[in-house]
Amino acid sequence: MKKMALVLGGGDAGVHVAMQLADRGHLVTLVPFSPSATAAAAFQELRHPNIHTFAQAELISLRGGVGNFTAHIGPATPVRPIVQIRAGAIILTTESEQAAALPRIAALLGIALNDYGSVATNQFCPVLTSREGIFVVDGGKRPANPADYLAMADKAATMAACVLEASEGEAPPPAAMSGIREISL
C-alpha cells in the first residue's frame, strides 16, 4: 500500500515539496499552513494526479508516529466535515508572515520550538525536527538566498520520500473515529 505524505504549507516551498514527492510517485495531501485566499488561488493552478489539495482547511489534530500518522484536517470552525488523512511523513513549510501561528501548529505536531520561536532543528540537517517523521522547510528562519530555500525543500522531500518508501506495504490500522470521512488516494 502506498503511503501518503501530508504537506502543511501552501507557499512556494509547500508546492515545491508536494510536486517533488508527487513526481516520485508518492501520494500527497497539501494543506495550507492556515486557510487563505492566496492558498486557494495557488491550489487552483496546481494540477497533478498524485496531489490532493484542501485550500480552505487546516490541521485540527494529529496522532500516531513515523510511517503512520493520522491527521484531522478541516475548517477552524467546523461547517464542513473534518477529514481524516493517513500519512507516512509530514512536511511543514512555513513563511515568515505565518510566524504568529507557528506555536499552535508546533503544539499540534508535537515538535519543539527554539528560544527564538522558530522550529528547533538539527544543526547539521536543518530539515529534521524533534519528532521523527516530521520535517520542516524554513521553520520560521528562511534563508536569505532563494536557492538555499529550494535546496532545503528538496532535502525535506527526499527525506520524506525515504520514510514513505521504508514504510510502504504496512497496512494502516482501521479508522478509530466514527463520523469522520477517510481519504485514501
Amino acid residing at 107: A
Which strand ranges, in their side-by-side order, compose the sheet holding 89-93?
Answer: 51-53, 27-31, 4-8, 89-93, 134-137
- Secondary structure element (H or E) that encloses residue 89, with its range: strand 89-93
- Taking the C-alpha atoms of residue 135 and residue 114, their distance in angstroms, rounded to an integer, is 15
Q: What is the pLDDT of residue 172?
A: 41
Cell readout for 159 is 527525506
Residue 178 confidence (pLDDT) above 70: no
Residue 2 confidence (pLDDT) above 80: no
Of residues 43, 27, 46, the one with CA closest to residue 35: 43
pLDDT digit string, tens, across residues 52-67: 888 778 888 999 999 9
Domain boundaries, the chain: 4-183
Query: Which residue(s) pair with 7 in the sheet?
Result: 30, 91
Of residues 58, 57, 35, 54, the one with CA closest to residue 105: 58
Residue 45 confidence (pLDDT) above 50: yes
Q: What is the pLDDT of residue 183?
A: 47
Given the candidates 3.30.750.24, 3.50.50.60, 3.40.50.300, 3.40.190.290, the CATH classification of the domain at 4-183 is 3.50.50.60
